[in-house]
Structure 1
Amino acid sequence: MKSQPDIYVFGAYNEVVTPEQCAVIPARCIDDLPSNTSGVVIIGLNNDAQDALLMQLHSSKQFGLWQIFVQQPTVLSSHLSDGLWSAVHELEQWHYHQQRLAMITGTAFDPMIAWLWLNPERRLLAKPQSDLSLLYRYPLLECYYSNSEAPYGYLQSQVSKGYLQPDKLIDKIRQCPACHSGHLNYLETCPACFSPDIEERISLHCFTCGHVSAQDNFIRRGQLECPNCLTQIRHIGVDYDRPLETFHCNGCKHAFVEATTKVRCLDCLTLNDINILIPRKIYTYQLGIQATHTIRYGQALAVPELTLNGKVDVGYFHSLLVWINKLAQRHQQSHLILGMHLPGLKDYAYRYGEVQMFSLTEQISERLNGLMRDTDICCQYRPDLMLLLMPMTSNSSLPVLQNKIVQLADVIEESEFSLEIYAWSLPDSSLNDDAPFWLQQCLQELNDNG
């Protein structure tokens, strides 16, 4: 490992670095950078030139193992660099970077994944772009992949494989189901013909004769007068009032109380109902445990499942919850669902190796099987989360169960092991027929704490 880095500078350089620390080498283009090593790049160009060079460095796929700094923030600097350069902590940052480099043993790693892994502070960031139909772009993704015009499918694939995981939710958008554009215009339309050419009309109600008509029909000689009984009306609430405001369609002449909201796509001009728009959540992303394991060990991490009695898959568990909830409502029964969360299981193999991880899961399986009854149903909902359905069990049994689980956790021969317990009871009127949504709401407590 080199004790000092070679620093390649594009443009102006504003800090003095002594020759004893490192060499400062001027560079005019990326061809001046050695491709068979790793170093430090500092960019001191104008805004457009700096962003163009950042894109070029990443798009070449040769400098993903480097540190890249800028001397002033620009539009893409937070997406494609390590931030502003400071020589104060330069050697410390360099040594840490070299230590991370030495841990890479895989040979066929993804260059973008390697860039993110080398600095835990790096993120795959989304940038709003109003001239794009998708509204957001991921500049780092664009540099490394040619299919980044449609990034959502790729990102979902990488999340499902464990190579990326959502970090922060930054926006929620909706897209046209016909062309997937996010350029949408929301219109108040006539519920009969869906024309946007509608007008709001205010009606008046005469208390004297009960006549109701448009306000324009009450205006006579500059004052309000009922067109039916000719009574002059002056005071609202005494002589008259305003009933519900109504709308009038200038196209089909239909009168109505409430307009229908439609959405017109500004790209393909399709008129859509709101409820068929495609919702998208825009996240920043960080590396998942599979990416870390692949880079360090050259292979994907296979998280072993717990071998438990009465185990069912997720789909069956969803159906079972709906059925047993209806049964509980009909016959006044009580059932209990326990959520057992092992928060450190995902990265346990990364820290201690797969052999020790398998040993841990075997211990947990053996102890939990001793806790379960023959009638209990278990579902490994996620690698780190098990759901246990305990029929004919009320909340009053929780203290006893908690005591047993504490005793179970105490005999696990692992100091790093921790187990979090959550409980929900049935029947629950909010469950209805959508068990996945109901469980998602229940598990929000777990996510908030995790």
Structure 2
Amino acid sequence: MSVYHALVMRDDIAQPLEAIDGIEYTHLDHGGSDSAEFEYSTDFQLLLLNFSDASLAEQDQILWDLRSGKLDLPREIPVFCRQDSPLLEHLGDGLFEKRSQFHTFLDSFYERLEQLQKHTGSSPLDKFLAHAWPRADSSFGPRWQLQSHSSYQYPLLSCLGIEDQQKTLALWRQSDVIVERELVDRVRQCPRCDSEHLNYVDICPRCKSIDINSSVSLHCFTCGHVGEQGEFQLDTALRCPTCLTQLRHIGVDYDRPLERFHCASCDHRFIEGQVVASCHNGHRHKPDELKERRLYRYGLGPAADQIASVGRIFDNRALQWGESTSIENFSWLLRWTNTSAQRHKHQHLLLFLNWEGVAEAITQLGEARALAQIAELQERLHSVIRQTDVFAEIDADKAVILLCHTSVKWLDQIAAKLASIEAANDSSVLKLQVRNFPLPSKDLPENTQQWLLAQSNKLDIDDVI
């Protein structure tokens, strides 16, 4: 049995932890100090937090500092706690009561971590995979945070320094790094500022005032007077204040109008108020104008296993006519095509495409609608590509096309086809930018994949054909 070294942090009143075979404890009393002030040995393979109910806020702070890289411990180190706390579900590995499973978990964790560390670097995705992939069948979800502009944040991503979480999750989902496990919630956003802190209030449909009240009204059949029920209460009976007729039987002497609300600003009576949603920035919108954001619990997708195995995402599917290929396949084909074109005097054309304004479209339309529009536009793009042309997606908003046996003299016709795709775009934010590169070219380097990525980032408005 392997022996693991555990650092145990505790407050002054917590009870000692029970011993576990194969795990050696090193105790450190937290003493109520800021956890960032401590320095720890990196030889520990396990962190155990033994805090009482009175110190759960300190426990959460240690979890946050650890996953943020502020402690002198590996940020992906397994953590178990004696007591449950709000962040344990998101940043920890469970409760100490699962100690009978510690060895199985730690053996699997460090075996997978060793495999992963051969390939990963220091990007946010690498840090995420270093935390998530060694934990077999791991998942992560959102947490409600009232002080945040968005009502939900993903604590794990926040600890990794990822600010634009919606865009990051969308890109990882498109790349199959993560997959949706469970729908946690659906929230509405202000379409102007993305605020999710909304107040729903009913207003007068005539003057839009919020000064409305519900009231019970009566209608006298004798003289036709309509007023609040209190006006008809004379002595112990109901009498019309205008004609003084005693109202004995509803439906015979009087009835109750359907208009149940009264506006104090314009004296208008109405059946139902008009509902509006107001964000804390003062923007008002009808409920059907709000954007929808879906919050999911995510698990790791097949691309995460590819990165762990070979250090990159590799598409080894058999290609079909007209189907997009991976950037790796495209890079090899580009180099071969360029060499062949130089030998046989052929002419080809390379097009770099960029959908500008993806972030703005997500802000304006919401993540689901924006990505659906981009997918629809990509589908339209496929419809105008010949079966002999080769298409590859570089990123969610970038692509490259190899037009075989096509020279620059055909650019006008190509531009017209691409313009028809952009004209079908419902969003005024998404703009298609295109840059052409004729082949053959002596400037094409041997590392075509790196060259493709560099060229795709050079697109600007002057490159539009």
Q: TM-score range by the shorter chain?
A: 0.5 to 0.7
**What is the distance in 2 between the residues matched to 1:164 and 1:38?**
29
Letter in 1 for 2:291: I
Cα drift, residue 305 of structure 1? 6.7
Name whichever of 173-182 and 97-106 sits farther off.
97-106
Cα drift, residue 99 of structure 1? 2.9
**What is the distance in 2 between the residues matched to 1:276 and 1:305?**
44
| Residue in structure 1 matched with residue 157 of structure 2 by the alignment | 141
* Structure 2 unaligned blocks of 5 or more: 30-36, 325-373, 381-465
| Residue in structure 1 matched with residue 287 of structure 2 by the alignment | 274
Name whichever of 101-110 and 295-304 sits farther off.
101-110
TM-score where L is the length of structure 2: 0.59
| Residue in structure 1 matched with residue 445 of structure 2 by the alignment | none
Q: Work out whether 1:50 is the aligned partner of 2:59.
A: yes
TM-score where L is the length of structure 1: 0.60
| Residue in structure 1 matched with residue 18 of structure 2 by the alignment | 15
With over 3 angstroms needed to count, the CA separation of the structure-2 counterparts of 1:166 and 1:214, relative to structure 1, is same
- Checking the alignment, whether the CA contact within 8 Å between 2:69 and 2:75 is kept in structure 1 is no
| Residue in structure 2 matched with residue 92 of structure 1 by the alignment | 104
- Checking the alignment, whether the CA contact within 8 Å between 2:223 and 2:242 is kept in structure 1 is no
Name whichever of 220-229 and 102-111 sits farther off.
220-229
1:54-85 Cα deviation digits (max 9, x unpaired): 11211118624432222221221111111113
**What is the distance in 1 between the residues matched to 2:60 and 2:77?**
17
Letter in 2 for 1:304: R
Cα drift, residue 223 of structure 1? 2.9
| Residue in structure 1 matched with residue 26 of structure 2 by the alignment | 25
Q: Root-mean-square deviation (CA), in Å? A: 3.2
Letter in 2 for 1:14: L
**What is the distance in 1 between the residues matched to 2:137 and 2:179?**
14
Secondary structure of 1:88's partner? Answer: helix
Give % identity: 30
With over 3 angstroms needed to count, the CA separation of the structure-2 counterparts of 1:55 and 1:188, relative to structure 1, is same
Q: Work out whether 1:175 is the aligned partner of 2:189.
A: yes
1:151-201 Cα deviation digits (max 9, x unpaired): 222222221222222222222211222222222111110112211111334
How many residue pairs match? The answer is 309
| Residue in structure 2 matched with residue 355 of structure 1 by the alignment | none
Matching residue within 49, 70, 85 for 2:81: 70
- Checking the alignment, whether the CA contact within 8 Å between 2:225 and 2:242 is kept in structure 1 is no
Name whichever of 56-65 and 188-197 sits farther off.
56-65
With over 3 angstroms needed to count, the CA separation of the structure-2 counterparts of 1:233 and 1:161, relative to structure 1, is same
Q: Work out whether 1:202 is the aligned partner of 2:216.
A: yes
**What is the distance in 2 between the residues matched to 1:63 and 1:15?**
25
With over 3 angstroms needed to count, the CA separation of the structure-2 counterparts of 1:242 and 1:163, relative to structure 1, is same
Cα drift, residue 214 of structure 1? 1.8
1:46-445 alignment, distance < 5 Å: 46-60=55-69, 63-85=74-96, 86-104=98-116, 105-108=118-121, 110-147=126-163, 150-207=164-221, 209=222, 211=224, 213-216=226-229, 218-226=232-240, 230-265=244-279, 267-302=280-315, 304=317, 307=320, 315=376
Secondary structure of 1:166's partner? Answer: strand
1:126-153 Cα deviation digits (max 9, x unpaired): 2212232312222111111252xx4222
- Checking the alignment, whether the CA contact within 8 Å between 1:200 and 1:245 is kept in structure 2 is no
| Residue in structure 2 matched with residue 5 of structure 1 by the alignment | 4
- Checking the alignment, whether the CA contact within 8 Å between 1:30 and 1:57 is kept in structure 2 is no
**What is the distance in 2 between the residues matched to 1:88 and 1:152?**
38
* Structure 1 unaligned blocks of 5 or more: 320-450
**What is the distance in 2 between the residues matched to 1:274 and 1:87?**
49
Cα drift, residue 121 of structure 1? 4.2
- Checking the alignment, whether the CA contact within 8 Å between 1:38 and 1:65 is kept in structure 2 is no
Cα drift, residue 256 of structure 1? 2.8
| Residue in structure 1 matched with residue 334 of structure 2 by the alignment | none
Letter in 1 for 2:290: L
Q: Work out whether 1:41 is the aligned partner of 2:55.
A: no
With over 3 angstroms needed to count, the CA separation of the structure-2 counterparts of 1:166 and 1:212, relative to structure 1, is farther
Letter in 2 for 1:223: A
Cα drift, residue 218 of structure 1? 4.0
